[in-house]
Each structure stands twice: as structure tokens, then as C-alpha cells.
Amino acid sequence: ESRVAMGVSVDAFLGLVRALAAKDEPLLVMHTAALYLAAARCDGAVSHGVLHPMVCHELVARLRASLGAVGGRSSKPTSKRATADKPDVALSADFKAARSAVLTELASLLEHVPLRSHPEVLSQFVSLLVSMVPSCAITANDESSLGALAHCLHARPGDASHTTPIVFRSLVPPLSLNIEGAPSSKEAAAAQMACADFIATVCHSADASTTDGRALLHAAQAAMQHASAAAPERAEPRAAVCASLARLLRCLPPVCTSRYASFLWSYSRNAKVAARVFATDMAAAMLGSAVHSTALRLPEVVGVLWRLITHRLDDRVALVRGRALTALAAVITVGPSLLGLAQEPVPVAA
């Protein structure tokens, strides 16, 4: 406020930020972003238009190009000559320090500045934080992007019923191993685990009797369903998605488990073969995890999953029937005690 009164121009400051962010120098872009985020936290900055949607959009785009969607790799192809002319800053101490500064300033902004009237800016910041998950997860960064993302779930950034779906919807690509920028399998797996742990942590103590608690659990349910629909068709990554979601469900309240089992039953009757294959594999993964989880041992959940697998034994596609047989054998071997909770008896060969 006082700076504006003294004649400091917000438009001039935003112009300077855009000019610096346009430079093809990753460290300069990150330092510019940290400065901009710090300025946005100043008293009166938001009311004077510092959080301009277009500036935030351009800055986030430049940050993602500099940081890379996955640990410092550019999401756009570059020529060999351009690569040779520039030092590799992705693993340097300066790069890590600049990335840490951006995360720290963004976390502080989300924690202290209300963004209810700036939903488009909030969406940009959420997108940026999620794009940084692989690099932070693989390097065990202390200033985790998911730690900063947790501030979006509090009341200050905006109404929880609005902000929570934005946050959880952004976690679908890492959960389903569909991360932009084609990270390595190690980075993708680390990001997937980090996102699953994040959802489990924030939902573990959610109170379904409160408005915020219900919004949190519904958003988590929607994220798991979208991740299921987006799961890769190839066997190995599909199995990784099933294992991750099953591990996540073990940590969630029983109401989430019951709802997901009902979704899975409906999904198993989808016309797409890939959907029925995933539903069968996911049912087997959940029953396998039920041995170690009270939430997954609910009779209604076990009954639905068991019926799902046995019904797929008669599927018209051989691939689905084969997956159902494999799932059936695995369930009988791993958790024979679960069969007593099922609503249908073990099918007897004619």
C-alpha cells in the first residue's frame, strides 16, 4: 500500500517480471518467480492487482519450462547445439536452491493470502506444484511441492468445496502414471507414491459429518475413479496403478472403500475391454490388501469384489476371462479367510 502511495507502479513491476521471465535462463526465471511470489504476499498487493491472471499464467508456463515437468528437463524439444551451449543446471546446487526458494515463497503465499476471488490463479499454482512432484519426490526435497499443496486445502486460499476438487483432480496424472514430459519409471513411481501418501494423510482424519470433511472424501473418491479410468492398458503400469490405489484405500475411511467398490462393480460392466481388465485386476489387488486392512475386510466390500471377479469368468473376451482366473487363484491362495465374507460361494466346476 505504502509503495503504491509513493508512486511505485504495479504495471511497471508486472512488466519487469514478464520481461525477466521471458529470458531463456532457467535460474533467472526461478529467481524472478520467487521475487514475484514474495511481492504478492505484501499487504495490499492482491488488491492492487499484483496477482494478474495473465502474468501468473506466463510465469507458471516459463517456470514449468525451466524446472521441467520432471526435475529440470524441458518439456519442449531443444536442439543439440542449444543443449551443448548451456550448462546443465538441473542438478546444480544453484538450481536446487532456486527451486527451494520458489516452493518456499509459493507455500507462504498459499498459507497467508486469501485467493477466493482468484480461482484461475489458484489453478495455475496447483498445476505448477503438481508438475514439480516427480523431481521433489525423487530427490527427497525437504520443501516438498505436496507440502505446499496442502495449504490449498485449508480455508484461507478459498472455499474448501471449490479448492479441494482442484487439488485432487490435479493429482490424477501422477496417480495413473500419465505424467506430462515422460519421466523415468523411477521418477513416475516416486511421484505416484508421494501423491498416494498425500491423499492418505489429508483424508485419514477427515470427519465425514462436516462440510469440509465430506468435500475432502468426495474429492479423493473422484480422484481415484479418474485415475482408474486413466490407468495404462499395458500390464506392468496397470499393475502399479492397482497396487498404489489398493495401498491408498487401506488408509482411507471405510466409506471411501465402499464407494470405490461400488464404482469398480459398475466399471467392470463397461463395454471397453481395458476397463473390465482393470476392474478385475483392481478387485484382486483390493482383496489381496484386505488381509492387512480392516476397511477392506468389510463384508459388503469383499462381497462386491468377489462377485466382480466371478462374473468376469464368463466374459466374452478371453483376455478378461484369463485375468479373472488369475485373480481368483490369487485371492484363494492369499486370503482364503476372506471367502467366508463373500455373499456368493466359491464356484464349483461342472
Residue 139 pLDDT class (50, 70, 90 cuts): low
Side chain identity at residue 102, one-letter code: V
Mean pLDDT of all residues in 313-329: 93
- Check residues 310 and 48 and name the one with the higher pLDDT: 310
278's CB contacts (< 8 A; 6+ apart) are: 228, 231, 238, 241, 242, 267
Q: Is the pLDDT of residue 3 over 80?
A: no
DSSP H helices in 113-234: 119-131, 133-138, 145-149, 160-170, 172-175, 185-204, 211-229
Q: Show the cell assigned to 290.
A: 484386505
Q: Is 70 left (phi over 0), alpha (psi -120 to 50) or beta?
A: beta
pLDDT of residue 187: 80
Mean pLDDT of all residues in 68-89: 44
Q: Is the pLDDT of residue 49 over 90?
A: no
> CB atoms < 10 A from the CB of 101, how many?
18
pLDDT in tens, 238-269: 999 999 999 999 888 888 899 999 999 999 99
Q: Contact 75/181 with Cβ under 8 angstroms?
A: yes
Q: Show the cell assigned to 160.
A: 474448501
Mean pLDDT of all residues in 27-46: 89
- Check residues 80 and 169 and name the one with the higher pLDDT: 169
Beta bridge partners of 73: 70
Q: Is the pLDDT of residue 112 over 50?
A: yes
- Check residues 132 and 135 and name the one with the higher pLDDT: 132
Q: Is the pLDDT of residue 71 over 60?
A: no
Cα(110)–Cα(100) distance, integer angstroms: 15
pLDDT in tens, 187-231: 888 889 989 988 988 887 777 778 778 888 899 999 999 999 999
Residue 167 pLDDT class (50, 70, 90 cuts): confident
348's CB contacts (< 8 A; 6+ apart) are: none
pTM to 2 decimal places: 0.78
